[in-house]
Every structure is written in structure tokens, then in C-alpha cells.
Structure 1
Amino acid sequence: MSDGHKAGESATRNEVTAMREAFKDRWLQVGWAGILALGGAAGIILMVFCVASFVSTVGAGLGPLLIPPVMAGVRGLTQFYREAAGRRLGANVVSPYLPRPDLASARSWPARQVRLTGWIVTDRATWRDLVWLPLNFVVGVPLAALSPLFVLYGAYGVLLPVTYPLIDQQVGAGDPHLLFLTVSDMPRAFLAVPLGLLVAGLGLWIAPPLLRAHARFTAALLGPTRGQLERRLARVTESRSEAVDSSAADLRRIERDLHDGVQVRLLALGMNLTAIQRLIREDPEAAEALLLETKESSGKALNELRDLVRGIHPPVLADRGLADAVRALAMDLPLRAETDIELPGRAPASVEAAVYFAVSEALTNVIKHAVASRVEARIRYERGVLRAEITDDGIGGADPSAGSGLRGVERRLSAFDGIVVVSSPRGGPTMVVLEVPCVLS
């Protein structure tokens, strides 16, 4: 067989594979549209619960008990739609909610519930979610449901040759219809097959544009407002300036460490080697003693270089990821340290480095100031956010504004739109929470 025939067969197989994949993708989009339509119907049920919870606040004062779990369901549903819209539009639809308040400092469960309810009720994004629920049912559900309904209606027509005899045997059953076609006998039932295929094909064809329209509708109602975007832009501008200053400070520190540490030792090594070269014939014993001293100095210089490299980017972080790097940190602590880390993948290298050094700084603060006997590091990835919690049983009283450590952590994470929350009442315990939005590989 000639090369031309082989190339032609290969191109044909590629075309068939591409068509098969495209057909499969259309069916997946129709299925996804059906899920979005069902979610819109579930939103109406949630809206009923929301109304009941807010009414109960006025009538029986049960708002702090009912509003948080109900709104957690609403926010879970809206976040699902944001993520779906982001995948369809190829751009992340950012959650517009205010940062979660510090609940650890509340003295009792009722106080925590009241604070949580206040955070929910005073957030404008909460009320936008509640407006979105009925609007999605009126606008979003038809957009999502139209394609699956066309496909189901077409499948009904394709199956009429099988189902018509069963319908015909039922007493009092009327003749089935498919669009303009009334099926009153088997020949007409077979005529419904190509008409059903046409309707189902139309449903497959309209699925992508309707899903894009649904995504734009969702992003417009559930995405951040113009004011929120402007505030975010201001924070990004400020954090970028702080990140540049922090990077410059890190470079100066590295330069100082090299100049005052390793460079001095290397100069001393050079001078010792020159002296050894001179003494090796005149006084071999003095040369041997100086050689041993030089060997010891070279080991110290190597250790200083390793410490410097570890301070820039630890090898374990690059090789094995954030989870193992934090576990290695915990193993070196001079107190009881526990880790609870579950990460389904790896964050971008820059995010991993920022979170690693932030956790390292928090653990260092525990050693220096907390007078603690136990510390726990917990890291999770949920809903597009990498979250780390460092908790100790020390004396508490940590104040981010009183020192440069936690302030440096804030600057480091702000470059990635991250936040730091510290809860440290007098007498302890102290909890430092770090959150960085990112995507895991």
C-alpha cells in the first residue's frame, strides 16, 4: 500500500474520531443542561426554606438557628452555578461574598450563631443570591431545559413504532402526536422516526449556544459587582506594590547573608589554602592542622549555603509538594506537632511557596511566643480555596499589628488575593487561618 493511501486512511480515521468525540460532547452538554435545569428547580425549594427562616426570625426569633444552614445550602448551589459558568465562559466567576468572620473568639455557640447570621444578613451578595433563585427558575431553567426537552421529545418520536401498539391497545387512549403528525396507524408511527431524529438533532445543535447564554446570565447575576471589582483592583494594586517591596527586601537579605556569611568563609578558605601551600614543605604538622580547620570551615560554609537555599525555596517543596514540606517542618519542631493535610493535587509553585513560608512563619511564632506544648497544622482544599489552619495551646494574645512576622505573611499572601485571620484571646488558644484562592493541578 502506498504512503498516499496510508495517509488518506489515517486522515479518515482522525475525522471519524473527531466526529465521534464531537457527538459525544454534544450529548454530555445536553446532560449537563438537564442537571442545571434540575438545580434551578431545587433552588425554588431552597427559596421556600429561606422565606420560612427569615419569617421565623420575626415571629419566633429562630433566625440564628435556621438562617446559617439554609443559606449554606443556597451558597453551595450558587457556587456550583458559578463554577459551571466559569468553565463554560473560560473565566473564573469570583464569589462576591464578604470574608467569613472570626468565630473562634465567640464565647458560646449562640454567640457564634448570632455573629454568623449577622455576617450573612449584612452581605449584599446574600440578597443577590435570593433574587437569583426565582429569576433562575424563570429565565435559567428554560434556557437549560430546552435542549434536553427537545432530545427527549425526539426520542419519544423515534420510539413510537414500539410504543404505538401499546398505546393503541389502551381503551380510551387518543392518538399520539409528534408536532404536526398525528399517529393513527403503524405507517404513520414509522413516519415519526425521521421527524423524531430531526427534533432530537435540533436539541443537540442548540445545546452549546443555550448553555453559553445560561452561563452569561449566571455570571451577570452571581458574579462580583462593579464596586467589588474596583475594590479588588485596589487591593491587587496595593498587594502588588507590597509584593515588590517584599521581594526587594528578600533580595537584600540574601545578599547580606551571602556577603556576611558564605563569602567570608570562602575568602577564609582561600587564605587558608594559600597558607597550607606555603607550610606543606616547611612545617607539615602545622599544614595538616590548618587543613583540618579548612575542612571544618568548608563544611560550615556548605551548611550555610543549604540553609540559604532552604530559605529561598526548600528542595522538599519543589520535589514533593506542600503537604510533605509542611510535614517536614512539623518534624523539626521542638514540641509536639500534629499535621492533618489532605490535598487532591498541587497548587502552582508560587502559591505553594507563599503558603509554605506563611505556615513556617506561623509555626516559628508558636515556638518564640506562644509558650505552647502542642501545635496542629491542618490544610485542606475546598471550593477553589487552599486553606491552612495553625492552632496551638499556648498563652494567646497574638497581635498581627504588634510585629512584622504576621504582617509579612499578610503581604506575602495578598499578592495571590489571599487573607490571614488570627484568633488569639488572652489565655489561648491561638488559631491562624490562611486562605488563598487557586486551582490545583
Structure 2
Amino acid sequence: MNTDTKSSGVRARTRETALAAVQGLTLAVAVLPMSVLFLVLTLVSVALVPVGVGLVTTPAILTGVRALADKRRELAAEWCGVRIPSAYEPVPAGANPWTRTFTLLRDPQVRRDVLWLPVDMTAGFVTALLPAVLFLYPFEGFAVAAGLWRVLDDGQTYWYGFVPVTDQPTALGAAATAAVLLVAAYRLTPRLLKAHFTLTRAVLDTGRGELVERVRVLTETRRDAVDTSAAELRRIERDLHDGAQARLVAMGMDLGTIEMLLDKDPAQAKQLLSQARRNSVEALEELRDLVRGIHPPVLAERGLGDAVKALALRLPLPSEVTVDLTGRADAPVESAAYFAVSEVLTNAVKHSGADRVWVDLDHTDGMLRITVTDNGRGGATVGAGSGLAGVERRLGTFDGVLAVSSPAGGPTLVTMEIPCALS
């Protein structure tokens, strides 16, 4: 590692430490008054519910408590990457004050928010203030060593931490202590700020947030799967109606005409018979293409790796496929992966301007991972209406994910992952 890289890393770490100290101090200044205020308001408002006043004030106050907790969740994710899930129960629209009040009071997440207030104003205040104290306290030690001890000396011993300061040598001892504390602050301040948010998560998280998120994702993926299946059925119906069915109808009409012409005009009957044979061949080819579009025979017979290789061979540009699979996934997973790769390759051919494509398939730690890379112009996005959005929905049915890296000028790297086991 060169000197410039080291110095830039030190500067970045110093900025991170200073920022964590400022953020912790900001939280500490805001935590105590806000938490105390909302805790007092909540207790008073709930106590006034029996006399009716609390029915009007409690929903507004609890909504404020939720807003305070949501802001802390936002800061936890933004500042330290700590995700704090929430699982609030919906309040019926247009509900009367009685229903709104008791819906909120029965909500486990709201009760967690109220329980968090006293924790936040005590342990939360300390853990928020500690990063700032650890970062700023060493500067007092340096100031003491620079001569501040003379100003602070009023005939009694001045203590800096555990160091008694009575003269310049002991003041230098305080500076040495401050240096040790500054090194500790450099290493620990961001971690201490993260510890504050970890404490917040421990109190606010009801354990239902992940379940609620999981239900939401499953609902969306189920809806997407139903929509995709309906669209696929419509496509099959359209292809049958406009393709093979039309040719079979035409062939039936030709055969009827041939029956009438066999005795009257054998030559014309022979021509129509040849045309009917061509129609039968074309209808059979269209049916094969349709079946290949539903579930390619090579996928069923030889697995995902060979199916993707066959897919790459039909591309109008050079391609390279690398397969490292020790077995086969379940048929629905293989089918989803195959058509996802097909869509990504189609996008690359149509829109990327690439002259070469690479496809890699492997299975590691229970995850089927497929990467498709092209050397095109880049700029691919997972937007509404794009083919990649459809790929994302298809993979989501199996808890799969799609990641796209496509800077302007290329290259484009599309990574697809599906959790599965290989047989």
C-alpha cells in the first residue's frame, strides 16, 4: 500500500470519527428533552383517557412518539447502517377517537415505542453522549498540558481523569493520558455510536418487522407470478391461434378441396397436396418453437448449463459460457433461471451494442449465481417497463435477487442469484 493510499485512509477514518462524535452529541442534545417530553405527555394523556380528554389527545401524542421512533430508525440506517424494522398495525380510516386510541394502545409496536422512551432518555442518552465525550475529552488534556492547569489551579489539585495535575510534569502526564484516549477515540467512537443504535434496535424491534416484510414480499411476488402466468397463457393462446391453428385450418380446407379434385383435376389436387404437406411441416415447426418457449426440451433433458449453452449458440454475436454446477436444481428454479438468462441475453443483443457476451453459472453456499457480462455501451437500468424489471419479478418468485452494474460506456454486468439446493 503506498503512502498516498495510507494518508487518504487516515483522513477518511479521522473524518468518520469526528462525524460520529458530532452525530452522537447531536443525538444527546435532542434525546433527553424529546424523550422526556413525549414520555410525560404519553403518561398524562393515557391517564386522562377515563375522563374522555385522553381519547382526543392520545392518538396525536402516540403518532408523535411514532414519528420520533421513525426518525431514529432513519438515522440508524443512514449513519451506521443499522436497520430497525417496524411493524405498526393500521388504524381504520375514519375511525372514531375511541377506536383510534385503543387500536394504538393495543399495537405491540406502539407499546415498544413508549417503552423505548425511558430507555432512550437514560441509557440512550449515555450511549449517544459517550462518543462525543471520548473524542473531545482528550483536547482538554492537551489544553491542560499547554498551561490551562495554571488557570484551573486554585490551590487545590486539579484532576484530569485519574491524573492529579499540580505542576508542569504532571500536566504532561495528563497530555500522555489524553493521547491514549484520543487513540481509543479514533478506534472506538464510530463503534460507540453504532452501539447506541444497536440498543435502540433491541428495544424497538418487536420481532414482527421481518415477518411483516416477508409477508409483503411474498404478496408482491405472488401477484407478480400470477400476472406473469396470465401473460404467458395469453401469449401461448395468441401463438396457437395465429400460427399453428391457422395453418391446420388451412390444411384441412386444402384436404377438402383435394378430395373434390382427385377425379376432376388430378394435377391441381397434386399441387394442393404438396401445399398441405408444407403447411403441416410449418405447423409442426411452430408447435416445436412454442413448446421450446414453454419449457425447452434441452433444459428438461440435460439441465440448465447445457440449455444456456444452446441458448448462447443461437445468439448473433460471439459468446462464452462457463458452467460450474455439480448437480441440478428443481425444475421450476431451472426454468426461471433459463428464461431470466434468455431475457438478459436478448437485452444485450438488442440494446447494448456489444460484440461479445460472457455467461458464468456456479452454485456456492446454497446459492445459484449467474452473471451475464457484455462489453457494450452500458446504461442498463432496472426500470418500469424494461426487460430487466420482468427478470427481477421472475426471480423474486423464488426469493432471488437481481443486481445490475452498467456504467456509461460499459461494461454491463448483470448478476442473478437464486437460493436453492442441487440434487
CA distance in 1, matches of 2:10, 2:207: 30
Seen in structure 2, the aligned counterparts of structure 1 residues 120 and 249 have a Cα distance that, compared at 3 Å, is farther
Counterpart AA for 2:305: A
CA distance in 2, matches of 1:119, 1:259: 54
**Residue 236 of structure 1, CA deviation:** 1.0
TM-score normalised to the size of structure 1?
A: 0.50
Structure-2 residue corresponding to 1:423? 405
Structure-2 residue corresponding to 1:252? 234
Structure-2 residue corresponding to 1:310? 292
Seen in structure 2, the aligned counterparts of structure 1 residues 319 and 269 have a Cα distance that, compared at 3 Å, is same
Q: What residue ranges of structure 1 are gaps of 5+ in the alignment? A: 1-56, 65-117, 126-223
Does residue 230 of structure 1 match 2:212?
Answer: yes
CA distance in 1, matches of 2:283, 2:304: 28
Deviations, residues 356-400 of structure 1 (Å, cap 9, x unaligned):
000000001111111111000111111111111000011111122
Query: Of 318, 334, 343, which residue of structure 1 is paired with 2:325?
Result: 343
CA distance in 1, matches of 2:78, 2:315: 37
Structure-2 residue corresponding to 1:279? 261
Deviations, residues 119-158 of structure 1 (Å, cap 9, x unaligned):
9962559xxxxxxxxxxxxxxxxxxxxxxxxxxxxxxxxx
Counterpart AA for 1:391: T
3-state SS of paired residue (1:416): coil
CA distance in 1, matches of 2:243, 2:377: 36
Does residue 355 of structure 1 match 2:314?
Answer: no
**Residue 403 of structure 1, CA deviation:** 3.4
Query: Of 368, 378, 386, which residue of structure 2 is paired with 1:396?
Result: 378
Structure-2 residue corresponding to 1:288? 270
CA distance in 2, matches of 1:403, 1:439: 31
CA distance in 2, matches of 1:293, 1:335: 36
Structure-1 residue corresponding to 2:363? 381
Query: Of 265, 270, 279, which residue of structure 2 is paired with 1:297?
Result: 279
RMSD: 2.6
Seen in structure 2, the aligned counterparts of structure 1 residues 340 and 231 have a Cα distance that, compared at 3 Å, is same
CA distance in 2, matches of 1:336, 1:58: 46
Query: Of 307, 331, 338, which residue of structure 2 is paired with 1:325?
Result: 307
3-state SS of paired residue (1:400): coil
CA distance in 1, matches of 2:341, 2:12: 44
**Residue 279 of structure 1, CA deviation:** 1.0
CA distance in 2, matches of 1:307, 1:299: 12
**Residue 304 of structure 1, CA deviation:** 0.6
3-state SS of paired residue (1:432): strand
CA distance in 1, matches of 2:207, 2:358: 38
Q: What residue ranges of structure 2 are gaps of 5+ in the alignment? A: 1-8, 17-76, 85-205
Deviations, residues 221-256 of structure 1 (Å, cap 9, x unaligned):
xxx954223212211111011101110111111111
Seen in structure 2, the aligned counterparts of structure 1 residues 119 and 308 have a Cα distance that, compared at 3 Å, is farther
Counterparts of residues 398-413 of structure 1 (less than 5 Å): 398-401=380-383, 403-413=385-395
**Residue 332 of structure 1, CA deviation:** 1.0
Structure-2 residue corresponding to 1:154? none
Does residue 414 of structure 1 match 2:373?
Answer: no
CA distance in 1, matches of 2:318, 2:217: 38
Deviations, residues 95-138 of structure 1 (Å, cap 9, x unaligned):
xxxxxxxxxxxxxxxxxxxxxxx99962559xxxxxxxxxxxxx
CA distance in 1, matches of 2:356, 2:78: 32
Query: Of 409, 412, 416, which residue of structure 2 is paired with 1:434?
Result: 416
Structure-1 residue corresponding to 2:81? 122
Counterparts of residues 18-167 of structure 1 (less than 5 Å): 61=13, 122=81
CA distance in 2, matches of 1:290, 1:256: 27
CA distance in 2, matches of 1:309, 1:300: 14
Counterpart AA for 1:241: R
CA distance in 1, matches of 2:245, 2:209: 52
3-state SS of paired residue (1:401): coil
3-state SS of paired residue (2:378): coil
CA distance in 2, matches of 1:285, 1:119: 83
Counterparts of residues 175-214 of structure 1 (less than 5 Å): none
Seen in structure 2, the aligned counterparts of structure 1 residues 439 and 304 have a Cα distance that, compared at 3 Å, is same
Seen in structure 2, the aligned counterparts of structure 1 residues 425 and 59 have a Cα distance that, compared at 3 Å, is closer
- Percent sequence identity is 56
Structure-1 residue corresponding to 2:348? 366
3-state SS of paired residue (2:418): strand
Seen in structure 2, the aligned counterparts of structure 1 residues 263 and 121 have a Cα distance that, compared at 3 Å, is same
Query: Of 244, 250, 255, which residue of structure 2 is paired with 1:262?
Result: 244
Deviations, residues 179-221 of structure 1 (Å, cap 9, x unaligned):
xxxxxxxxxxxxxxxxxxxxxxxxxxxxxxxxxxxxxxxxxxx
Structure-2 residue corresponding to 1:70? none
Larger radius of gyration: 2
CA distance in 2, matches of 1:275, 1:300: 20
Seen in structure 2, the aligned counterparts of structure 1 residues 120 and 330 have a Cα distance that, compared at 3 Å, is farther
